[in-house]
Amino acid sequence: MFYLQGDIDEDAVFNQIAQDSGEVIINWKGVTSINSCGVRNWVNFIKTMSDRTIYYIECPPLVVKQMNMIPSFLGTATVYSVYVPYVCDNCDTEKLVLVTAEKFGSVEETIQCDKCQSPEMELDGHPKHYFTFGRAK
Amino acid sequence: MLGVLKETNVWRVRSFSKPEAAEKIFGGARHVHSSNLGAHDPLAELTETGKQRKGDFSYPWEKEKAARFVEVRSAEDRHRVLREFVEALGSEGHRACRDVVGTVLEELISNAIYHGLRLENGNRKFARQDKPSLQPSEYIKVGAAVLPEGVYLRVEDSGGRLGFEDIQEAFHRCYKRGLNQIQQKENGAGLGLYMSFDQAMHLRIDVWPGKKTVVSCWVNRKRVPNEDNFSFNYFERT
C-alpha cells in the first residue's frame, strides 16, 4: 500500500509506486492539496499503470472532486473508499465519514452531530454529484 | 432537468451539474447559469441581461469597495500573495472555502503568468518550469474582498489573450471521459481554468483582446445546501 502525503503539484513524483509489482493500493488520506500541475502529473503517471490492478482508498473530498471533474484522474483504478463530508447546520461542526464502495449509492444525506446532537448534520454537497466517479467506468 | 435554450450562446436551465455545464460551454455557450430558483434568481437575470448589454453589468460582490489589490511581479510572488489572501480569511467559515480560495487563486495567477502573458506572435513566453519575472510593461493584479457570505477574487493581466476557443478546447479536453485528454498538451491544458470553474460558484471572464484579461469569481464562505447554483460568463470586450 502507498500512502500519498502533502501537496500533489509540479514537484510530486510517483516512480516508487511503479516499481512495486502486483496490485497497487493508493491511500489518499494524507493529501492536503492538488493543483493543476499535480493533476497532470498524476494523470500521466496513472496512464503508465493501465495494465495494473489499482485501488484508491480513503479518498478525501479534494480527491473525490478531482475524480468527478477529471475522469482520467481515476484511470483504470477502482475506488474502494472515500470520505464523505458533513456539516452541522446548527453548530457548523464539520465531519468526514469514511464510506466504502458498497454504500456509495445509499449514503445518508443527514446524520446526527456528535457535538450538539442536532439531527441536522448534512452531507456537504449533492449526493448524486459526489459519487459521479462511480459512473465513470 | 434541462430548460429552454434561449439564445445560441446563453443557457439558463433549471439545475444541472458542472460537467454538464462544461459540455455546453464546449458547445459554444458563453453564458451559462444553473439555478434551482428558476426565473426568480436575480443572478440568472443578470447573466441574461449581461449578454444583451455586452457585459455591462456587475454581480453584487463586484461592487464591494473593501476589495484589496496587490500586484504579482514574478512567479515567486505567487506564493506570498496566496499565503496573504488565505490567511486573511481567518479561521471562521466553512473549511472548504479556504481550500477553494487557495486552489482557485493559485490556478488563476499561474494562468495569468504562464498563459496570459505571451509573445507578440501569440506564442507562450514562459514554460511552466520557468520562474519568470514580469517586464515593466506587463502587470498582474490580484484582488480579493472577504465578505461575511463569501469571497470575491479577481485576477487581471495585461495580456488579453484568453480566447473563448481556448476555453472551449480546454473544457472539452478536461470533462471528456478517457485517458488521453489532459496529457496531450505538456505546457498547459487549460486545466487550471477548468478547476477554477469547478470550484468557484460564479466565474466571469472579460477579455479586451490584446489589452487585458480579467477573471473573477465568487466563492461561498458558508456551506451551500444546493451546489447547483452557479454561473459562467465570457465577454469579449472592445
Q: Give B98's contacts (C-beta < 8 A, 6+ positions apart).
A: B86, B89
Pick from B96, B107, B181: which is nearest to A124 by CB? B96
DSSP collapsed to 3 states, B31-97: EEEECCCHHHCHHHHHHHHHHHCCCCCCCHHHHCCCCEEEECCEHHHHHHHHHHHHHHCCCCCCHHH
Q: Rounded to a whole number, what is the distance in Å from the CA of A95 to chain B's nearest CA? A: 11
- Answer whether A136 touches B (CB < 8 Å): yes
Per-residue model confidence as pLDDT tens for chain B (238 residues): 333 334 456 655 567 778 788 888 988 989 888 887 766 777 877 777 777 777 778 888 888 776 788 899 988 888 888 888 888 777 665 667 778 888 899 999 999 998 888 887 778 888 877 888 898 999 999 998 888 888 899 999 999 988 899 899 888 877 765 445 555 554 455 888 888 998 898 999 999 999 999 999 998 876 665 567 889 999 998 8
Instruction: Tell me how far apart the alpha carbons of residues A11 and B156 are, in angstroms, rounded to a whole number.
Output: 27
Global confidence as pTM: 0.83
> Which residue(s) pair with A55 in the sheet?
A25, A78
The verdict on a CB contact (< 8 Å) between B195 and A126 is: no
Inter-chain residue contact A69 with B198, CB threshold 8 Å:
yes
Within 10 A of B13 (CB to CB), how many other CB atoms are there? 21
Q: What CA dihedral angle connects B220, B221, B223 and B229, to 10 degrees? A: -10
Of A44, A85, A129, the CB nearest to B183: A44
The radius of gyration computed from the CA coordinates of chain A, to the nearest angstrom, equals 16
Residues of chain A numbered 50-79 and touching chain B (CB < 8 Å):
50, 61-62, 65, 68-72, 75
**Cα distance between residue A33 and residue A30, in whole Å:** 9
Q: Are strands A24-34 and B150-157 parallel, antiparallel or unpaired?
A: unpaired
Locate the chain B residue with the closest alpha carbon to A109: B225
Q: Which three cell numbers stand for residue A83?
A: 470520505
SS3 of B236, please?
strand
Pairing of strands B31-34, B10-13: parallel
Nearest CA distance, A102 vs chain B (angstrom): 23
Of B177, B223, B228, the CB nearest to A136: B177
